[in-house]
């Protein structure tokens, strides 16, 4: 059914995601707005339908005292309510008034944008709002929630309860997924209403700024989608000179785009209530009615309370499920680690725990690439494809873990192996060599029912700039190929813990092999012995500290004292830092032993890859990157990418105090070598201590100011010198620094 009002102006759909919905400059006409500059102040702004309430033109009302506009008796009731309430941004109920014979209004008040904003909603009752509905409603709802075990069952209960209370013809409960699409979990509807159960609404139906507003103001009512808005007079907030912010106003006028959307949906009245879990917009309860429908404030308050209770129960259920999942995974990790220590050969030990390994990641297959061996377990791609994937991971995935549930969208050969490898979880075991443990998940072909085609922005034949949002809400069925079941956060986190434990086992094996080695370089003999010893002795207790800190944090719950939680988090962070230090020591020691495998490297690609990885960690920091055209060099890519990353990471770290960081990468070549420079505008260092700069554990700044393990630049020097090159630095305190390294045009292998 299309009930669009053809007299309304057409709207440019392209601006939908940029509309200033917080400052519409108007309200819905089922009430009146009066803005004052203080409790005892004068009226400074009104809605232009105020004449219906006062018999005066808006221009004549502005500047009056409230008593002159509404009468002394109404003014007294409002003032008493304002004095008894501590106003916030959320509207508070002040009472029900009769400013004119036979006209009754509920008065809501909130303080925002430098004003006290009164909203007078027309109601059909003389009596005050009866909030006694809240207690039995909430008590009954809590009792019923206690008998539900799943989020879906909770959602069904909430939909039925809110429909009963409000009288809307259809109530939907839907949840947002990671991509912002809404999935309908529950529905309650009257005969004649279209069902959307289990269907999905595309993310574009709720633009970004609307999601932000749903977090701030968690309930919104539209009484009649065919309303003609009442403009504010004057147009701007007299206090600020800017349009008045109506974010928290119950009467706030809504986007013409959304009103057209409602009419296209056959809905003239709607109410939306935000389901907020842990500070994020988890979902919405969306109420629809084919005819105009007003919901009084006390009923809206009841619905908001029910929704908050639902959100808390959802959070508790999801936390419980996540806790149980983590506990099961940790039990599996203990079992796997026991199997991995049964013999001296890591690969054979890994094969012996294949069933637990696959069960741990809910995977159909796994592959271990270690030293010169590749072992596949379960249902995996051919070995050649696995090796191709490992080369791609080495070049493109530089974090401690890589995961995706749509491999074919990122890996060039992914489409050929989507049957048994649409999803992967990859753990690098070595930062120098292509040693990986990879889990594979098979393709899960999904059939998704959308409420209308999510890929169409305009109906065919409509003018390109004319608003026609979602003219059709018929089921549009889409079959999704090339994806697997998504990786859960608990699986990713416990996999990282397993990687830490696995590195400890590899480190112990490396220690045993090192004891058999006949020749060790004099320069790294002490460091290797130290790193092996520290890693071997500290790995297990550090891992236990992190694991038991996690368990203590989970057992403490939300009511634990803040100080105790802070102490536990400090313990956990310190143990993880110590673990990273051990990792870096191992990496440093490996630099002196591993053989170089030089090939041609495009240095622009390498620096850009390191920059992209760092941008994921720098968040909202303002950093200007300038990377000049750089020469192609001959070097070992595994070694050199670590050196490049450490240099850029160093520049990012020491420009942290700058409002705008500038990092410039340049290079030049001569007959003998290629030279590269990384210039920053950071805090710099005193050149008197430059000789300490590239040493292990040497710091020129306090640990409290700039965190790090003190090994990064030592790694850079060792890598460059292994290639026969040189490294140096120049700086002026508080004026930035320039780190340089040179690589010979031809590398002479040892």
- Alpha-carbon distances of 516 from 504, 511, 512, rounded to whole Å: 19, 9, 7
Rounded Cα distance between 537 and 68, Å, is 82
Which residues have CB under 8 Å from 533's CB, separation 6+? none
Residues 26 and 706: their CA atoms lie apart, in Å, by 51
**pLDDT category of residue 467 using cuts at 50, 70 and 90:** very low
Element (H, E) at 378: strand 373-378
The residue whose two tokens read 């110590």 is 578
Residue 582: what pLDDT? 59
Mean pLDDT lowest among 376-390, 551-565, 585-599:
585-599
- CA dist list (Å): 501 to 402, 497, 539, 540: 17, 6, 8, 8
Residue 17: predicted pLDDT: 56
- Per the prediction, the chain carries an average pLDDT of 82
* Pair of tokens at residue 228: 């003609």
Domain 599-744 has CATH 3.30.565.10: yes
pLDDT the model gives residue 522: 47
The most confident of 78-82, 589-593, 718-722, by mean pLDDT: 78-82
CATH of 26-123, one of 2.130.10.10, 3.40.50.720, 3.30.450.20, 3.40.50.2000: 3.30.450.20
Percent of the chain with pLDDT over 90: 38
- Residue 480, pLDDT > 70, answer no
Helical H segments across 146-278, by residue range: 151-166, 208-216, 256-264
Q: Residue 400 above 90 pLDDT?
A: no
With b for 16 or more beta-carbon neighbours within 10 A and e for fewer, the 508-542 pattern comes to bebbeeeeeeeeeeeebeebbeebbebbbebbeeb
Strand partners, 738: 679, 730
By CB neighbour count within 10 A (0-12 exposed, 13-18 middle, 19+ buried), where does 712 fall? buried
What is the model's pLDDT at position 472? 47
| C-alpha span between 339 and 7 (Å, rounded) | 75
Average pLDDT over residues 406-415: 90
End-to-end CA distance of the chain: 79
Percentage with pLDDT > 70 across the chain: 79
CATH T-level topology, domain 13-21+131-315: Beta-Lactamase (3.30.450)
Cβ neighbours of residue 366 under 8 Å, at least 6 residues apart?
Answer: 354, 357, 358, 376, 377, 378, 380, 437, 438, 439, 440
- In whole angstroms, what is the distance from residue 357 CA to residue 499 CA? 13
Q: What is the pLDDT of residues 234-274, one digit of tens each?
A: 999 988 899 999 999 999 999 898 898 899 888 999 999 99
Distance (Å, whole) CA 294 – CA 718: 73
For domain 341-451, the question of CATH label 3.30.450.270 is answered with yes
Mean predicted confidence (pLDDT) in 546-572: 68
How confident is the model at residue 685, as a pLDDT? 85
- How far apart (Å, rounded) are the C-alpha atoms in residues 184 and 451? 10
Structure tokens at 256: 């013409």
Q: How confident is the model at residue 89 (pLDDT cuts 50, 70, 90)?
A: very high
- pLDDT digits 0-9 by tens, 8-57: 344 444 445 566 789 999 999 999 999 998 877 899 999 999 999 988 99
248, 110 contact by CB (below 8 A) = yes
Which pLDDT does position 580 carry in this prediction? 58
Domain boundaries, the chain: 13-21+131-315, 26-123, 341-451, 488-594, 599-744
Q: Pick the more confident residue, 464 or 214.
A: 214
Q: What is the mean pLDDT of residues 618-647?
A: 87
| Pick from 296-300, 490-494, 499-503, 539-543: least confident | 539-543
* Domain 13-21+131-315 identical in fold to domain 599-744: no
Residue 704 has pLDDT above 70, yes or no: no
**Contact, 329 vs 312, CB < 8 A?**
no
Give me the residues paired with residue 328 across strands.
none
Asked whether the beta carbons of 221 and 300 are under 8 A apart, the reply is yes
Q: What's the CA gap between 654 and 652, in Å, rounded?
A: 6
Buried b (16+ CB within 10 A) or exposed e, 650-660: bbbbbbeebee
Q: 3-class secondary structure for 494-556?
A: HHHHHHHHHHHHHHHHHHHHHHHCCCCCHHHHHHHHHHHHHHHHHHHHHHHHHHHHHHHHHHH
As given in the structure block, the two tokens for residue 252 are 């706030």
* Residue 334 pLDDT: 86
DSSP letter assigned to residue 56:
S
User: Per the omega criterion (within 30 degrees of 0), is the bond before 234 cis?
Assistant: yes
Bigger pLDDT: 26 vs 200? 26
DSSP annotation of 698 reads -
């Amino acid at each position: 059914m299309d009930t669009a009002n053809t007299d309304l102006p057409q709207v440019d759909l392209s601006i939908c995601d940029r509309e200033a919905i917080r400052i519409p400059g108007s309200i819905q006409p089922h009430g009146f707005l009066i803005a004052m500059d203080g409790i005892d102040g004068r009226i400074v702004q009104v809605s232009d339908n105020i004449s219906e309430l006062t018999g005066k033109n808006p221009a004549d009302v502005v500047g009056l005292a409230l008593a002159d506009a509404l009468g002394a008796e109404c003014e007294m009731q409002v003032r008493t309510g304002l004095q008894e309430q501590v106003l916030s941004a959320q509207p508070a109920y002040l009472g029900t008034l009769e400013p004119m014979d036979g006209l009754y209004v509920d008065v809501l008040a909130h303080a925002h944008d430098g004003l006290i904003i009164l909203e007078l909603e027309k109601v059909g009752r003389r009596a005050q709002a009866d909030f006694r509905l809240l207690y039995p409603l909430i008590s009954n709802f809590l009792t019923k929630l206690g008998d539900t075990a799943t989020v879906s069952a909770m959602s069904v209960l909430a939909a039925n309860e809110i429909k009963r209370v409000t009288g809307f013809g259809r109530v939907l409960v839907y949840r947002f997924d990671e991509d912002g699409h809404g999935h309908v979990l529950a529905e309650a509807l009257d005969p004649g209403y279209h069902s959307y159960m289990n269907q999905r609404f595309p993310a574009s139906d709720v633009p970004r700024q609307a999601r932000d507003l749903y977090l701030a103001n968690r309930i919104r009512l539209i009484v009649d989608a065919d309303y003609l808005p009442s403009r504010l007079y004057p147009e701007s907030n007299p206090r600020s000179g800017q349009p008045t912010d109506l974010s928290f106003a119950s009467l706030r006028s809504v986007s013409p785009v959304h009103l057209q959307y409602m009419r296209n949906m056959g809905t003239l009245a709607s109410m939306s209530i935000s389901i907020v879990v842990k500070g994020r917009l988890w979902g919405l309860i969306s109420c629809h009615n084919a005819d105009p429908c007003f919901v009084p404030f006390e009923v809206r308050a009841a619905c908001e309370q029910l929704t908050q209770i639902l959100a808390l129960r959802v959070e508790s259920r999801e936390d419980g499920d996540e806790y149980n999942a983590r506990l099961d995974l940790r039990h599996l990790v203990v079992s796997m680690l026991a199997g991995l220590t049964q013999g001296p050969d890591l690969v054979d030990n890994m094969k012996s725990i294949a069933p637990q390994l696959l069960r741990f990641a809910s995977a159909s297959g796994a592959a271990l690439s270690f030293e010169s061996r590749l072992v596949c377990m379960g249902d995996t791609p051919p070995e050649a494809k696995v090796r191709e994937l490992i080369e791609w991971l080495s070049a493109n995935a530089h974090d401690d873990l890589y995961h995706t549930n749509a491999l074919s969208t990122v890996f060039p050969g992914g489409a050929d192996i989507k049957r048994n490898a649409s999803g992967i979880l990859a753990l690098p075991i070595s930062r120098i060599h292509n040693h990986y443990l990879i889990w594979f998940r098979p393709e899960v072909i999904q059939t998704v029912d959308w409420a209308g085609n999510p890929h169409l922005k305009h109906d065919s034949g409509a003018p390109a700039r004319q608003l026609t949002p979602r003219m059709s809400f018929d089921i549009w069925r889409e079959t999704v190929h090339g994806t697997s079941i998504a990786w859960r956060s608990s699986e990713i986190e416990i996999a990282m813990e397993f990687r830490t434990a696995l590195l400890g086992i590899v480190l112990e094996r490396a220690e045993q092999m090192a004891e058999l080695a006949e020749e060790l370089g004099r320069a790294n003999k002490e460091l290797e012995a130290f790193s092996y010893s520290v890693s071997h002795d500290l790995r297990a207790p550090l891992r236990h500290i992190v694991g038991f800190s996690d368990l203590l944090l989970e057992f403490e719950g939300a009511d634990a004292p803040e100080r105790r939680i802070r102490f536990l988090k400090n313990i956990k962070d310190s143990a993880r830092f110590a673990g990273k230090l051990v990792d870096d020591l191992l990496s440093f020691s490996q630099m002196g032993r591993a053989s170089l495998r030089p090939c041609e490297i495009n240095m622009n690609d390498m620096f850009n890859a390191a920059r992209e990885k760092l941008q994921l960690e720098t968040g909202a920091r303002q950093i200007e990157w300038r990377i000049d055209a750089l020469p192609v060099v001959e070097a070992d890519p595994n070694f050199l990418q670590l050196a490049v990353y450490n240099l850029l990471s160093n520049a990012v770290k020491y420009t942290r105090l700058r409002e705008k960081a500038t990092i410039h990468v340049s290079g030049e070549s001569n007959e003998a070598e290629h030279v590269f420079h990384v210039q920053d505008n950071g805090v710099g260092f005193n050149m008197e201590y430059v000789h300490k700069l590239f040493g292990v554990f040497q710091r020129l700044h306090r640990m409290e100011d700039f965190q790090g393990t003190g090994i990064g630049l030592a790694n850079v020097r060792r890598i460059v010198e292994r290639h026969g090159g040189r490294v140096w630095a120049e700086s002026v305190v508080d004026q930035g620094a320039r780190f340089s390294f040179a690589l010979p045009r031809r590398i002479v292998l040892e």
